[in-house]
């Protein structure tokens, strides 16, 4: 939450975005009545991420504005649009942070320690996340690099442990693709990709700004997501659809006699991935608030937002209905910020540049 500008490397930002995106798959909770076929979900996922890449590239098509994040750029083009966008972005990022905290807590409470009060996990996690926000994005980036390495090792171990259980011929049963299901999966992947908004707002922390951030993020996140999905379905088969947390089930059933209690090891990794996710969202929220309010009011406003996020997380974790409502609000509302405002800001920049040329 520091107001001074901190800079991180391009690859560091990519790794932070990747870990944030990975959180969605590690804590994926199978919804009731899910009917989208596996083949359609994979195609929809790739197309949704490809659309997110296109939106990110559109930002870099705005010439001469690469030194700004999206909020600052809009503020320069139109003050009202910039302020409205910044407030809405801060709200949706706050909702996303609450949703992520609740997702992490629900995973721990439902799957691991079912008899323990959720506050035992929630309050310490929130405290560590707020501390991570206070120390700044440079420290988060350094920590994220280490967490990425540990995560890569853990995923490799899962792969080795599940290879004996993989049935390649079963892949044919998942190969059918339905247009309607693909469209549903496409929209789900796009609207749930809050990391795109985070990237557009944290671009100001890049000394050398380049569209390669989005390209690297796209290939890394999409490749990993497709690989994990294939691994789960090929190793667990129809059993995967019956598990609330499919990838955790895969880790539990990993068949490596050398390492015992693999699920405990992955639990530690997932806690660290969740930490990166929440701190990154809070950092983006704090960053866009600097655009939304005058500098003299920034600290008070940020404290109020963090207090609301904390309270909402405590309330949201206590009720599945409230948790689902929070998910609906942020997933249904925030994409309009990018799908509508990015083309608008591109037009504003073009018109302003042409007027200057005259």
Phi and psi torsions of 6, nearest 5°? -115, 145
Which pLDDT does position 258 carry in this prediction? 45
Question: What tens digit of pLDDT does each residue of 251-310 get?
Answer: 777 665 444 555 566 778 888 999 999 999 999 999 888 888 888 888 888 889 999 999
Q: Determine the Cα–Cα distance for residues 269 and 264; give it in Å rounded to an integer.
A: 9
pLDDT of res. 220: 92
Q: Does 14 score more than 90 pLDDT?
A: yes
Residue 208 vs residue 18, higher pLDDT: 18
Which residue would you say has higher pLDDT here, 100 or 65?
Answer: 100
347 pLDDT higher than 90? no
The b-or-e profile of 47-64 (16+ CB within 10 A means b, else e) is bbbebbbebbebbbebee
> Cβ distance 46 to 229 under 8 Å?
no
Average pLDDT on 318-326 reads 82
pLDDT at 325 over 80: yes
Rounded to whole angstroms, what are the CA distances from 238 to 114, 158, 170, 357? Answer: 25, 19, 10, 62
Q: Which of 306, 33, 8 is nearest to 184 (CA)?
A: 33
Phi, psi of 206 (to 5 degrees): -100, 125
- The pLDDT score that the predictor gives to residue 257 is 46
- Look-up: residue for tokens 């320690």? 113
> Closest by alpha carbon to 85, among 357, 347, 339?
339
Does residue 230 or residue 60 have the better pLDDT? 230
Instruction: Identify the pLDDT of residue 279.
Output: 95
Least confident of 83-97, 100-114, 139-153, 319-333: 319-333
Tens digits of per-residue pLDDT, 136-157?
899 999 999 999 998 888 888 8
**Position with higher pLDDT, 47 vs 246:** 47
Helix (H, G, I), strand (E, B) or coil at 68: coil
Give the residue extent of every domain in the chain. 10-27+35-353
Please write the tens of the pLDDT for every residue from 31-64. Answer: 555 555 677 788 888 898 888 888 778 777 665 5
DSSP code per residue over 7-63 = -B-HHHHHHHHHHHHHHHHHT----TT----HHHHHHHHHHHHHHHHHHHHHHHTST
For domain 10-27+35-353, give the CATH number.
1.20.1740.10
**Helix, strand, or coil (residue 177):** coil
Task: Show the tokens assigned to 67.
Answer: 């030194």
Are 315 and 102 in contact by the 8 Å Cβ rule? The answer is no
Task: Indicate whether 163 pLDDT > 60.
Answer: yes
Examine the pLDDT at 237 and tell me if it is beyond 60.
yes
351 vs 313, higher pLDDT: 313
Global pTM value: 0.88
Angle, helices 298-318/262-292, rounded to nearest 10 degrees: 140
How far is the C-alpha of 155 from the C-alpha of 216, rounded, in Å?
Answer: 19
- Indicate the SS3 state at residue 287: helix
Task: Flag whether pLDDT at 106 surpasses 50.
Answer: yes
- For 12, residues 6+ apart whose C-beta sits below 8 A from its C-beta are 141, 142, 144, 145
pLDDT of 19 higher than 90: yes
Output 43 or 209, whichever has higher pLDDT: 43
Mean pLDDT of the chain: 79
SS3 4: coil
Portion of the chain with pLDDT greater than 90, in percent: 15
Question: In 3D, which of 325, 357, 341 has the Cα closest to residue 71?
Answer: 341
């Amino acid at each position: 939450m520091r107001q001074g500008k901190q800079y991180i490397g391009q690859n560091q930002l990519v790794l932070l975005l990747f870990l944030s995106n990975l959180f969605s798959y590690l804590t994926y909770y199978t919804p009731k009545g899910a009917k989208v076929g596996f083949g359609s979900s994979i195609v929809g996922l790739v197309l949704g991420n490809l659309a997110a890449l296109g939106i990110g590239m559109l930002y870099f098509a705005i010439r001469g504005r690469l030194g700004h994040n999206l909020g600052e750029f809009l503020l320069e083009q139109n003050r009202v649009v910039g302020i409205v966008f910044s407030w809405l972005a801060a709200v949706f990022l706050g909702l996303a942070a609450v949703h992520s905290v609740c997702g992490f807590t629900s995973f721990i409470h439902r799957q691991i320690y079912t008899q323990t009060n959720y506050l035992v996990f929630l309050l310490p996690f929130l405290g560590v996340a707020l501390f991570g926000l206070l120390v700044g994005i440079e420290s988060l980036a350094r920590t994220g690099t280490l967490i990425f390495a540990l995560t890569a090792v853990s995923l490799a171990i899962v792969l080795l442990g599940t290879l004996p259980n993989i049935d390649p011929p079963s892949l044919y049963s998942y190969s059918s693709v339905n247009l309607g299901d693909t469209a549903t999966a496409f929209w789900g992947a796009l609207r749930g990709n809050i990391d795109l908004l985070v990237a557009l707002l944290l671009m100001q922390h890049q000394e050398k700004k380049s569209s390669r951030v989005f390209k690297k993020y796209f290939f890394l996140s999409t490749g990993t997501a497709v690989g994990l999905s294939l691994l789960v379905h090929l190793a667990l088969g129809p059993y995967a659809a019956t598990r609330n947390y499919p990838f955790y089930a895969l880790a539990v059933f990993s068949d490596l006699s050398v390492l015992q209690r693999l699920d405990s090891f992955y639990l530690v990794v997932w806690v660290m991935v969740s930490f990166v996710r929440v701190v990154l969202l809070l950092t983006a929220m704090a960053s866009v608030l600097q655009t939304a309010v005058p500098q003299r009011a920034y600290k008070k406003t940020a404290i109020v937002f963090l207090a609301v996020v904390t309270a909402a997380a405590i309330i949201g974790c206590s009720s599945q209905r409230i948790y689902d409502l929070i998910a609906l609000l942020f997933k249904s509302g925030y994409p309009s910020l990018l799908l509508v405002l990015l083309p608008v800001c591109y037009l504003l920049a073009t018109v302003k540049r042409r007027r200057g040329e005259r």
